[in-house]
Structure 1
Amino acid sequence: MSADKIDIKRVTAEETVPLRHSVLWPDHPVSHVLLPEDASGLHYGAFLPGSPVAVAVISVFIDPLPAAPANASSQSQHAARFRKFACALEHQGKGVGTRLLTHVFEVAASELGCGVVWCDARTSAAGWYERRGMRRFGEVFFKGDIEYTRMMRTL
């Protein structure tokens, strides 16, 4: 399946939950992947042609950069943060996640008027984000026993 055949659509927060849970935190209760701010976010899914079930999901929020890096521009003060980015294991490595993340960069710049996009990324995925134009900032930290780093991309 070519990533250019993937359809990116707005979805509800509820529609993101099964994939968030199964990919990101399968050993925790479903409540672990729910965010208090879900109601105020924009949620997107990547769909295969003819399928009603998303194979990747991402949620986007207006959220300022925490401890903005010294070289961040004043334009980046209006920032978008993506969270709970998950791609079904059988669709990873096929360009689906890249297509969905690129869509978020475009939405953040054109619809939300943001100058930067950021996230808390598992350090195991940091290289993937770096290959898509993001860079690390801040200190490494943990959520449970998983190591994270902050990543950002100026738009």
Structure 2
Amino acid sequence: MSVDINIRSISAEETVPLRHSVLWPDHPVSYVLLPEDSSGFHYGAFLPGSSTPVAVISVFYDPLPTTGSSASPSQPPAAAQRTARFRKFACDPAYQGRGIGTGLLQHVFDVAAKEMGCSVVWCDARLSAAGWYERRGMRRFGEMFFKGDIEYVRMMREL
């Protein structure tokens, strides 16, 4: 079931409460702050009439990481492309499954291609969410790794 949402640019500070409560609630708030937040683009998804986002995402210019021999041979060298990386993507659990996160992610794909001039978008995804990203056109690359006790995999989508 999809709901009407309004997606708009927000400040990095406006992403923090949802980042913290959804992604790393057992860590201090400082754990969800990124040194590069000041140079990123931040978006929130809002329900009609609400001033509090129900989903947030942050996007940065960031080259694809070097993955050694596990890189796909069809993947062009990172230096040949302009790439965007999204981070700290969070949707309030009470609003998951309604198309809000999908809409926000599609917005990031559109912004990265049309406004940022990028040909690829990538992220470090929790392994538990990899299938969700795959259903939205992303594919895995590189090796799995851990952040704390959570397993991650890199995901990308060519635009």
Q: Is TM > 0.5 for Structure 1 vs Structure 2?
A: yes
| 1:52-97 deviation line (CA, Å, top 9, x unaligned) | 0000000000000012632123686210000000000000011000
Within the candidate set 66, 70, 83, 2:73 is matched to 70
- In the alignment, is residue 15 of structure 1 matched against residue 9 of structure 2? no
Q: Tell me what 2:109 maps to.
A: 105
SS at match of 2:54: strand
Tell me, in whole angstroms, the C-alpha distance in 1 between the residues paired with 2:154 and 2:2: 30
Q: Say how many residue pairs are matched.
A: 154
| Structure 1, unpaired ranges of 5+ | none
SS at match of 1:28: coil
TM-score normalised to the size of structure 2?
0.93
Tell me, in whole angstroms, the C-alpha distance in 2 between the residues paired with 1:78 and 1:20: 26
Q: What is the alpha-carbon root mean square deviation over aligned residues?
A: 1.4
| Structure 2, unpaired ranges of 5+ | none
Q: Tell me what 1:85 maps to.
A: 89
Tell me, in whole angstroms, the C-alpha distance in 1 between the residues paired with 2:109 and 2:28: 30
Tell me, in whole angstroms, the C-alpha distance in 1 between the residues paired with 2:47 and 2:128: 27
Q: Tell me what 2:158 maps to.
A: 154
| Moved >3 Å (runs of 4+) | 73-76
Tell me, in whole angstroms, the C-alpha distance in 2 between the residues paired with 1:148 and 1:139: 9
| 1:99-137 deviation line (CA, Å, top 9, x unaligned) | 000000000000000000000000000000000000000
